[in-house]
Structure formats: structure tokens, C-alpha cells
Amino acid sequence: SAKRHGRNHDQRFRPSLDVAGDRQLALVNDLRTALAKGTQLELHYQTQHALRDGALVGMEALLRWRHPVHGMISPGDFIPLAERHGLMSSLGNWVVERAIAQLANWRLAGVAEVPVWVNISALQLIQGDLESRLAASLAQYRLPARLLGLELTESVLLDERAGDIYPRLEALRALGHQIAIDDFGTGYSSLSYLKRLPVDKLKLDRAFVRALPEDSADAAIVGAVLAMARGLSLEVIAEGVETPAQRDFLLSNGCPLVQGFLFSRPVPATELEPRLLNELQPI
Ligand code: C2E
Ligand code: MG
Ligand code: MG
Ligand code: MG
């Protein structure tokens, strides 16, 4: 009904949970249109900080879709749809190009260089020519690869369709990209793979952060991950830090980096720019 399809402020629009296939297909077509027009899609940016002094050290780019009828749809809802219907490569390419264009804008605006991290889906590695697209976009704006970090989940690293991913990660790092394992701890991989995995950073999933410091099991897991990462010379960034108590626990356990609502929510680039100009010393 028209009411059901209208903007609804009480109940979030959850397309991936909707069983009606025709409604999903309509949404897939809307997404195709959004990609072609480029006007409904946006990247929002969430800051990342050094825990010791609060310094802004990076930003994660997070995809947003402002649907003309349904309003803001969360990536957790439309990305699975894009993956199922063959739109993920185009969507991923859009994200990479937009993030690089934004880096160039910030440089023009006089913002000191700080890396932007983008989320890379398995399908981008499997189907896409990710490496050459990254190189072409960076070259277009004469930006160094060190300004674009890549976040991959454990499931991406273990996806057999992606082939032998290790040499590709090595090559991306040789070009200057930093690589992080996203949602670390929630996958089903063995710990031994970390020994030879060419990555720079672990992003500790917020599932382990949420109940800190009270939950003694989570506290033990986080402490162990931090100790292990130190031994392997991997950086750790804790995700989803919302309270001072969580921050204090992480600080006293030697976690170097944090990201979360306590520091900032993901916001549009224009909203972040004054803060970037303020907090970052130009070089
Ligand atoms: P993620 O990459 O793990 O991103 C972190 C998510 O946690 C974001 O949700 C962010 O808004 C949210 N978050 C950050 N700090 C806090 C906090 O303190 N508390 C809580 N409760 N949440 C926090 P978002 O933006 O809805 O994105 C969800 C997921 O969608 C991302 O998880 C990522 O897997 C995926 N995603 C987002 N943008 C892209 C993209 O451009 N490409 C791909 N392939 N996936 C994306
Ligand atoms: Mg991420
Ligand atoms: Mg994550
Ligand atoms: Mg996540």
C-alpha cells in the first residue's frame, strides 16, 4: 500500500528483511538509478583517534543511500541486496572514486593529509579490477596510495573465489595502501593465518567492546587480542567506543587507536571539514 511504502519515521525501512521479492526488485532498480545519477548516494566520514592524546589519525568512509521515498537506508540493508543483484562492483567503484575525490577536495581546502579508509567487499576483489581502478583514481588526482586505507573483513580474506589473496595484498601494500581486517574476532578463521597475513591493522569488532569493562569474558578477549597484536606488530583500533568507561579500559590495556560515537558519529564531509581544519596541523 501507499502507506507502507511511504516515509516511516517510527519503523526503520529494512529492505533485506522484507520477504516480498517484487519490492526488493523495485529497490534494486532504484539502486541502479541511484548509481547512474550519483545523487542519492553519499559517503559519511567517522573519525579515528589515537587513544593516548585524542589526535585525529584517520577517517572511515561509510556509504549512505538517501532514497527519495524511503529516506536514509543503512548499508547493512542495501549492500546485501547489491551483492545479490550484481551491483556491488559498481557500488564499490563509486565509493572508491568518491573517497579519492573527497581527499583531493580536502587537500585543496588546506586540510592536512590524513588517510581515509574504505570498506572493500569480497565481490570487488573477485570480479573487479580493484588494483587498477585504485591506481587510476589516485593518479587522476595525484594522490599517494598511503592516503587510502582498505578495510577487508575476515570473510573476504577467506573467500575462495578471491583466489590467493596474499600476493594481491602484498602488492597493494607495496603501492603504499594500508590494509585493515575489519570486524576482527567475529569470523571463523584460525589464528595461525594472522602469522603470515600481510595486513597493518586489526579492527576489533564492537561486539567485544560493547560490554566493557564489566563483562570479564570480553575484557579477557580484548586484553588477549591487544597482547597478541603487539607481539605480531599489528596495530589495533577498537570499534564502537561509546562510553568513557570503555575508553579508559582500552587505554589502560594499551589499545592504541579508537573509533566510535564517543569521539564522533559518521557525518557528511562538509560537516567534518571545519573540524579537520581545526584539529589537523597543516604540513
Ligand atoms: P563497519 O565497516 O564495521 O563500520 C562500522 C559501523 O559501526 C558503521 O555502521 C558505523 O556507523 C557504526 N559505528 C561506529 N561507531 C559506533 C558506535 O560507537 N556505536 C555503534 N552502535 N555503532 C557505531 P554503518 O555505517 O551502518 O555500516 C555498517 C556496515 O556496512 C559497515 O560495518 C560495513 O561492513 C558496511 N559498509 C558501509 N559502507 C560500506 C562501503 O562503502 N562498502 C562496503 N563494501 N561496505 C560498507
Ligand atoms: Mg569498516
Ligand atoms: Mg567494522
Ligand atoms: Mg561491522
Q: Is the overall model pTM greater than 0.90, yes or no?
A: yes
Cα-based distances in Å from 271 to 41, 191, 275? 16, 40, 8
Alpha-carbon torsion angle 89, 114, 41, 177, nearest 10: 0
Take atom 43 of ligand 1 and give the residue whose Cα is closest.
119
> C-alpha cell of 9?
519515521
pLDDT tens track of the chain, all 283 residues? 334 444 444 456 666 655 567 778 899 999 999 999 988 999 999 999 999 999 999 999 999 999 999 999 999 999 999 999 999 999 999 999 999 999 999 999 999 899 999 999 988 888 768 999 999 999 999 999 999 999 999 888 877 777 788 889 999 999 999 999 999 988 877 777 788 889 999 999 999 999 999 999 999 999 999 999 999 999 999 999 999 999 999 999 999 999 999 999 999 999 999 989 888 765 5
Ligand 1, from 119, 123, 259: best to mutate by most atoms within 8 Å of Cβ? 119
Q: How far is Cα 24 from Cα 1, in angstroms, rounded to an integer? A: 15
Closest by CA position to 100, among listed 128, 63, 142, 66: 142
CB atoms under 10 Å from CB of 186, counted, come to 14
Q: How far is Cα 56 from Cα 38, in angstroms, rounded to an integer? A: 29
Q: Ligand 1 centroid to 283 CA: how many Å?
A: 30
Ligand 1, from 14, 62, 202, 263: best to mutate by most atoms within 8 Å of Cβ? 62
Cα-based distances in Å from 201 to 58, 194, 210? 13, 11, 20
Q: Ligand 3 centroid to 5 CA: how many Å?
A: 30
CB-ligand 1 contact for 234 (6 Å cutoff): no
Q: Ligand 1 centroid to 62 CA: how many Å?
A: 6
The answer to whether ipTM exceeds 0.95 is: yes
Report which DSSP code applies to 78: H
Q: Is 68 helix (H, G, I), strand (E, B) or coil?
A: coil
For the chain, the C-alpha Rg in angstroms (whole number) is 19
Q: Could you identify the atom of ligand 1 that is nearest to the CA of residue 88?
A: 44
Q: Ligand 3 centroid to 60 CA: how many Å?
A: 10
Burial track 6-44 (b if 16+ CB lie within 10 A, e otherwise): eeeeeeebebeeeeeeeebeebbebbeebbeeeebbbbb
Contact criterion met (CB below 8 Å) for 240 and 210 = yes
pLDDT at 19: 53
CB-ligand 1 contact for 243 (6 Å cutoff): no
Q: Does residue 167 have a cis peptide bond before it, meaning omega lies within 30 degrees of 0?
A: no
